[in-house]
Amino acid sequence: AQKITQTQPGMFVQEKEAVTLDCTYDTSDPSYGLFWYKQPSSGEMIFLIYQGSYDQQNATEGRYSLNFQKARKSANLVISASQLGDSAMYFCAMIRGNFNKFYFGSGTKLNVKP
Amino acid sequence: GAVVSQHPSRVICKSGTSVKIECRSLDFQATTMFWYRQFPKQSLMLMATSNEGSKATYEQGVEKDKFLINHASLTLSTLTVTSAHPEDSSFYICSARTNTGELFFGEGSRLTVL
């Protein structure tokens, strides 16, 4: 069964505008963690932001914020003031239960237009 | 959707022993597989790119003799951590690329070296 769903295979955004990348997850575990990674053409997965299931506030890291809606099981990534360097693949991931398994979404390719 | 399976999901071993982790693409052929190492709440570090039938391409700083990668078939790549030490304890994740360029991830293997 699909654990992490990213419904946007590709997106375009104008430079300096904000963009939201969607992610929904499926788990019955009360304890889990949600990650967003950026993958540039180099292949490395760059950690952007983390949200724990018990965290009361939405996580923020600079221009990145995670819109965590627990009841809806969504963890959308919001990038404010997009930059050309933000063009990359973005993966949503979940680690759940006893933190022994990672689940990744299929990714969203973001293109930032000048 | 495409499925990538990793085995074992969790392994505990004594210092000095070798551990093999398998990565299988269950319903597609993957000419290219990738191996990553993850530190808690940090980036997934790309360790090597594995191409079927040829030697793996290691990233700078990754010891080839320490982390042996074999991609013997289009559906299987293995990572062997040789003479494991406690500092090798980590989460190891593989991904496999389809011939259309999509990337699918395994669920990870948590290695604990005592």
| pLDDT for the residue B2 | 64
Report yes or no: B28 at the A interface, CB cutoff 8 Å: no
Query: Cβ(A70)–Cβ(A76) under 8 Å?
Result: no
Chain A residues lying within 8 Å of B10, measured CB to CB = 100
- Within B40-89, strands assigned E span 44-51, 57-58, 67-73, 76-81
Q: What is the mean pLDDT of residues B76-103?
A: 90
| pLDDT for the residue B44 | 78
Confidence band of A100 (pLDDT split at 50, 70, 90): low
Residue of chain B whose Cα is closest to the Cα of A101: B107
Confidence band of A97 (pLDDT split at 50, 70, 90): low
Report yes or no: A103 at the B interface, CB cutoff 8 Å: yes
Residue from B6, B50, B105, B109 whose CB has the most chain A CBs within 10 Å, to mutate: B105
Report yes or no: A41 at the B interface, CB cutoff 8 Å: no
Q: What is the mean pLDDT of residues A83-102?
A: 84
Task: Using alpha carbons, list the distances in angstroms from residue A1 to A72, B3, B34.
Answer: 18, 10, 23
The Cα–Cα gap between A55 and A82 comes to: 26
Residue from B21, B23, B43 whose CB has the most chain A CBs within 10 Å, to mutate: B43
The Cα–Cα gap between A5 and B65 comes to: 37
Q: What are B69-88's pLDDT values in tens digits?
A: 998 888 999 999 999 999 99
Q: Residue A64 corresponds to which tokens in the numbers above?
A: 């990145």
